[in-house]
Amino acid sequence: MMAALDATASRSPAVKRWLISGAKLVVTLLLCWVIVSWIDWQAFLATLLNARYGLISIVFALSLVGVALSAWKWQILLQGHGIRFPLRSLIRWYFIAAFFNAFLPTNIGGDGYRLLKTYDNPKGRARAVGAILLERITGVLTLGFMGYLAALIIWFRIGNPLAGSLALIGTIGGFFGLLLLALIWRFGSSGWGWAGPLSRIKLLKTIAAKTLELIADWRGQTARLGAVMALSLGFHLLRLGFIWLLILALGTAVDPIELTMAVFAVEVAAMLPISIGGLGVMEGSFVYVMGAFGLDNEAGLASMLMLRVLTLLIGLFGALLYLGEGRAKRAAIGT
């Protein structure tokens, strides 16, 4: 009896993972079915056939530049913690991470690979983790601020209810984010006696201590931190630019401010772990939001699918680099 219970317990994590994956698959299929019901497929095919593929090739080139910008930002963040890696290596690892992100169910695979490549460094593993976390955080904050401003502008300009909702979400999220930062800072710098029951939460103390330790590395590095934020802004402007070009290649144009709000909404929706790789969530949210601003559902879906194809192409290039890395390791072992 006990052996049977132990076997069931040992299988439970695997069963849980299968159940979660199955639920995500069901949600993904349901979302895809909803999107399919929105589309006039004859008009969709006409949109694709009449696309300006010269512009799409420019978008692919710009997406490669975007990967290089992200790797450069990662390098600066590592340098902020005293960790040095050549930019060429970081660009290669970023492309390989894009392969893992494109072909694994979650984005954790790519970040895990990058962490593995920078884990062993003279400054400690926590700082390699901190660089990737700060890269993510600064990216989300930059896009969030851009989307928040776009939503405010649209709300004041035309009173769009969706823009008002996103502006409200941004205001609430910003408030609680600042409150969390203030709490971590207070916990780490002023002692814990005032915190009452919170002072007994070991995990909270550990998070606060590690956060303040990583923040301390950035004291006196205002210029470097400014460069990180500038690269974040440049990356998101570039991304918005090539999505705008994709829509233009499909024969229509959109307001850049409305597009900024839509991309912000897509990124917020993509954070929900309810589908496989965000499939259906990203496409559906973009079609819905841009449809509210007059973009045809067919052009909205086509632009998102093209973006996925370009992402897969970048991932395939990363796969080639990954295979090359494996061959180089085997050759080194052979010698």
pLDDT tens string 42-79: 888 998 888 888 888 899 999 999 999 999 999 999 99
Nearest to 211 by CA among 274, 159, 134: 134
H-type alpha helices, 159-217: 161-189, 202-216
Say which residue the tokens 């939001």 belong to.
289
Say which residue the tokens 């851009």 belong to.
146
C-alpha span between 40 and 29 (Å, rounded): 19
pLDDT in tens, 129-188: 889 989 998 998 899 899 999 999 999 998 888 888 888 888 888 888 788 777 766 665
> What's the whole-number mean pLDDT along residues 76-91?
94
Say which residue the tokens 């589309």 belong to.
39
Least confident of 69-78, 270-279, 295-304, 316-325: 270-279
Torsion angle in degrees (nearest 10) through CA of 301, 302, 306, 308: 20
Share the mean pLDDT of the chain: 83
Q: What is the pLDDT of residue 25?
A: 80
Percent of the chain with pLDDT over 70: 84
Q: What is the pLDDT of residue 9?
A: 45
Q: List CB contacts of 250: < 8 A, sequence separation 6 or more.
A: 47, 48, 50, 51, 52, 299, 302, 303
Q: List CB contacts of 144: < 8 A, sequence separation 6 or more.
A: 170, 173, 174, 264
C-alpha span between 193 and 165 (Å, rounded): 39
Query: Which amino acid, 295?
Result: L
What is residue 313's DSSP assignment? H
Query: Which amino acid, 76?
Result: I
Query: Which amino acid, 163?
Result: A
What is residue 271's DSSP assignment? T
Q: What is the pLDDT of residue 1?
A: 43
Instruction: Count the Cβ atoms, other than its own, within 10 Å of residue 80.
Output: 20
Of residues 167 and 206, which shows the higher confidence score?
167
Q: What is the pLDDT of residue 5?
A: 41
CB 80 within 8 A of CB 218: yes
CB 275 within 8 A of CB 24: yes
> What's the whole-number mean pLDDT along residues 197-226?
73
Angle at 108 between CA 105 and CA 110, to 5 degrees: 95
C-alpha span between 247 and 262 (Å, rounded): 13
189 pLDDT tier (thresholds 50, 70, 90)? low
Supply the pTM of this predicted model. 0.83
Q: What are phi and psi of 285, to 5 degrees?
A: -65, -40
Q: What is the pLDDT of residue 8?
A: 46
pLDDT in tens, 235-268: 999 999 989 999 999 988 899 999 999 998 888 7
C-alpha span between 187 and 166 (Å, rounded): 31
C-alpha span between 103 and 113 (Å, rounded): 13
Say which residue the tokens 């917020």 belong to.
268
CA 218 from centre of chain: 23
Q: Is 235 helix (H, G, I), strand (E, B) or coil?
A: helix
